Chains A and B, each alone.
Chain A
């Protein structure tokens, strides 16, 4: 057909609203458990208390941006240890690669906040308006009291969930009980209210109205995932060789010439993305598994084996069509690629844990002052200045002792301190101006540069750290 005798379709399309039908089954049950688990974690974690002593916050998980500290139960991360966070992010990335190469868009289908909150919002909609057909009827109906009442109630509940979502986010960044009271008494910071407002609105709009459009138009991750799947990746598909040719049941019986698909549209009606899985894997599919539940239920009812729609890999399809059995799930999951991802993931994880346990809870950074490189004193002594930052990553104040090795010529003193000891408060840091001096007649006094190692140790424990630097002599 030629295009000349047709009017081109509109460049813009209105969204077709989707009214997923209720479904029962193992995937649905698992998704409910995951939803409770993940929302539970999200809402409860900021309220867990963790005693760290009198000078420290007692919140188990706290991202204290103002004081630049990150608390996670017994672990405390300082800004200079941010590589832990970077490591966790890399692990999260590799974890996603692993799950995507093994199980396709499993993140999208079960764990993504967009999916979880949309699931919750659809359930709210179902409670208030009824199942698919009732919702469809209400949607097509002109505005009347019932529609206003039900829509109003639905939007109110959505909005309250949004407020709870946005509010809970803030609790990760401040003391939760204090912020909770402050939010309700109007004493919280403007930024806190803005955060709650923005996250309330994103939750409300994304979960209530945008839904599948976020996945289709806004999110880059599905597109990246598509590129990471291969022919061994397990994903949801329709066994067309078993189901086709599809046809309705006639007098409650299947025609022996027809396939198992009775074209009941159950898989289409439950789909939160509004697609027909029988067209094969497609861009919109988040692999939530609900069509599997819906189809299995129907297969049970018409006395056919389950699995007309199910998890399978592309490589299985040809084998299965040829009558051979499907490869086991474990063979799909344990492949060189997934083993490589797992090894990388675990390697970084182990390295981080080891780093976490061997790190000292004190730290020192030494910055030689090089303006000027050295100073000659009246008796000919040469002096170098170092800006030394001591960090006491401990919940009690401790006394630090500075000392030097590797260079017997030099002696150390601290500006404004009578000795070489200094007390640093609990979980605090201090910046010291430290002098190293080489008396006249010593090698370090006249040499260009000479090496020196500066130690910071703690009197009350065996912990100590060092930093290597150089001392500039008068010929520098």
Chain B
């Protein structure tokens, strides 16, 4: 089965060191440092305009850095033109050449490398089999579906046995159903080839489902690097908390000192936060919808602290119900498991919002 693997070149690491890129006054990448381990499936995740594609194109050699360097397998490749870098890139638009058949597209990179004709034919067949498109070799790209085109683009890139595989939003031109399937295929292929892979996306679900580690980017700066679960459980800042999953963020200020130190939420309610608790002086209270519980107003507190709130709406999500409630000046979302339609909180009524110290975060502004 592993006809094309193991690769002739072993997986390598990618290091980005102190990279700055600007277009005129627009500082697109600011002091970016990253260490991507060999064989890792790594994602650049962030909203559009955050610099993730610029960083990817920098590795491929299509952008130049003002300062800093890119190392592949420990060797600085900053000075090499794109065609000497051996980093395979799958383009967002696939960029299949319409004047060539599928097989010719896949053969291109091998021909450019002067590989003997028989060997080209053999490796084209292998690459196409790898993505399950051997039977479509003589078709034109325009005769293929979006998912098939995407797979041809992948085959074309892995055929040259690149040191690193770069994927630029490879799923964005596919419909939702295809996307789930193709991302599993990509993961499987990456595992089989053991290839260091960098994946650019703005979709946290894509990154979470297939990547080993993620670098969350915003405004040209790496916000945090970690595994998907680390990022979700311990976001380093408000941006990461907000960008990955739903987060409730309550603003407020610290009042009092010593044992009487409290966090006053906008709107007046207060929570005890002793100086020993490690809550910083300027911070916001952050929690996930599933980490809060609602209980009937006036009942006993069931947690570390409870806030009164007004239910303003609810959405039935099947296994759970998402309530929207106003606590002080903030609107929050709370997920409650769905048990029975007889035990619901009605919009327009009051309730208690219960939170535990262990499941909330205090993030500096």
Decide whether A and B are members of one complex: no
Residues of B within 8 A of A (CB): none
Residues of A within 8 A of B (CB): none
